[in-house]
Structure 1
């Protein structure tokens, strides 16, 4: 069985194993996730919990288990329900939509999301993140049988998005990369070699102020992680600790008709026309995030074997 790993603050930054509500510190200093994957995993697996009291998880300040430097590579519109609410056709498209976020957007699982005041259409996107295990420097073929050779484990992520920047300027990178726009954690579940199949058996849930907005299952992913890694290995390199977001399900605040989307994606339409159309189409939409909103994200396997914890972030405009 794999292990639930956390990174936390306790008179310095430390790594630990989370089990039954207690955190068991891992001996050694690991500055980055890449360092921990290289030298800390074996130490973590050898912890004798019978001889260590551990720390109360409720008294620990959890940090993002993903650390800079890292690459954040994202899959877009990868669930049918989300495609439809964004004005797209629901079936699997002919190509995999890929974009990136800045590593500086990473924040902790309980930190505030700090949005610039000029953002008026702030949205949430729960996603399962997969962590790269080893260098991928050339084209490879990833299959369900060898996925665990390339994937270290899974985390909760929230691809926070400024829709006004994303859809009026056509700037996905800018609209998704403001600092704190990528909460990660609290748990990094490191899979055993026979657990890679769990990527297709995870339940996602996101609520805002206690109201469920997103609920889905990773079996609904249109492009599976193994085929995405195969495709991306043909054009880019990956390194241990890199983060790949697998896409968000339906239930985000954004709602666009196909006609709205066509206008917003047209490069020949002027910016002021796009701003007017987006504002008009979203004028009665009350689901965008507001000052003080509390976002709660949870991901676990259907059988309860894997639990990525609870991520809670409050929204602030600064």
Structure 2
């Protein structure tokens, strides 16, 4: 059986095992996730769960278990419902949409999301994240084997997005990469190889101020993690500690008609016209994030065997 690790702050920064609201401290001095995994972190975590003296998680500040340096690679429009609400064809598209976020966008599962006041269309996107524990430096043909061999485990990610920047400037990287725009954690669940298939049966739930906005199962992913690993291995490298976000389900604030999306994606359309069109289409939409909104994200199997914890972030405009 796998194990859920956390990184926390309590008179320094430490690693631990989170189980039933209790943290079992791990004897580990590694500063990065990559170093922790390389130094038999999973085995030491298992030993801590058996022998360490636990304490309440309420006594500490939980941090992102994914640390710098590391890259964040993302899949876009990978659930039918999300495609449809964005004005796209709900069917599986002919290609896997891939983009990146700046590693400096990572923040903790309990930290504030800080957005510039100039952003008016701030959106949320819960996603299942896959974390690598071995370097993937060449093409692989067997996605199922790659998932078991290269992926350390699962984590919650929130791909916070400025729709203003993303669609008026057509800059996905810029619109999704501001500092604090990627809350991660609290739990990195380190899987055993036989648990890898559970990647297809995880329940995602995102709430804003207690209201359910997104709810889906990873069985609905259009491009599955295994085939994505095969595709990406043919074009790029991954290193231990890197993060792959697999896409967000329906329920985000953004709502567009097909003609609006087509116009926004047109690189030849004038900027002022795009700004006017986007603002007009979203002006009566109450679901964009506001000052003080609290976003909670949870991912788990229905039986609770895998539980990635509860991520809770408050929105601040600065």
| TM-score class normalised by the smaller sequence | over 0.9
With 9-18 and 76-85 compared, the bigger mean Cα shift is at 9-18
In structure 2, C-alpha distance between the alignment counterparts of 1:224 and 1:287, rounded to whole Å: 29
1:210 aligns with 2:180: no
2:241 match:
241
Number of residue equivalences: 317
| 2:215 and 2:249 in contact (8 A); partners too | yes
1:44 aligns with 2:18: no
In structure 1, C-alpha distance between the alignment counterparts of 2:299 and 2:79, rounded to whole Å: 16
The 5-angstrom pairing of residues 177-188 of structure 1 reads 177-188=177-188
With 186-195 and 22-31 compared, the bigger mean Cα shift is at 22-31
1:192 match:
192
Q: CA deviation at 1:28?
A: 2.2
The 5-angstrom pairing of residues 294-305 of structure 1 reads 294-305=294-305
Q: Displaced runs of 4+ in structure 1, greater than 4 A?
A: none
In structure 2, C-alpha distance between the alignment counterparts of 1:267 and 1:214, rounded to whole Å: 30
2:121 match:
121
In structure 2, C-alpha distance between the alignment counterparts of 1:141 and 1:178, rounded to whole Å: 35
In structure 2, C-alpha distance between the alignment counterparts of 1:80 and 1:141, rounded to whole Å: 26
| 2:131 and 2:242 in contact (8 A); partners too | yes
Q: CA deviation at 1:35?
A: 0.5
| Structure 1 unaligned residues grouped into runs of 5+ | none
1:93 aligns with 2:125: no
1:223 match:
223
Q: CA deviation at 1:18?
A: 1.2
The 5-angstrom pairing of residues 1-318 of structure 1 reads 1-39=1-39, 40-47=41-48, 49=50, 51-318=51-318
TM-superposition CA deviations, 1:166-185 (whole Å, max 9, x none): 00000000000000000000
RMSD of Structure 2 on Structure 1 (CA) = 0.9
Q: CA deviation at 1:149?
A: 0.5
TM-superposition CA deviations, 1:116-138 (whole Å, max 9, x none): 11100000000000001211111
TM-superposition CA deviations, 1:47-93 (whole Å, max 9, x none): 353x4321111222100000010000000000000000000000000
| Structure 2 unaligned residues grouped into runs of 5+ | none
In structure 1, C-alpha distance between the alignment counterparts of 2:31 and 2:97, rounded to whole Å: 32
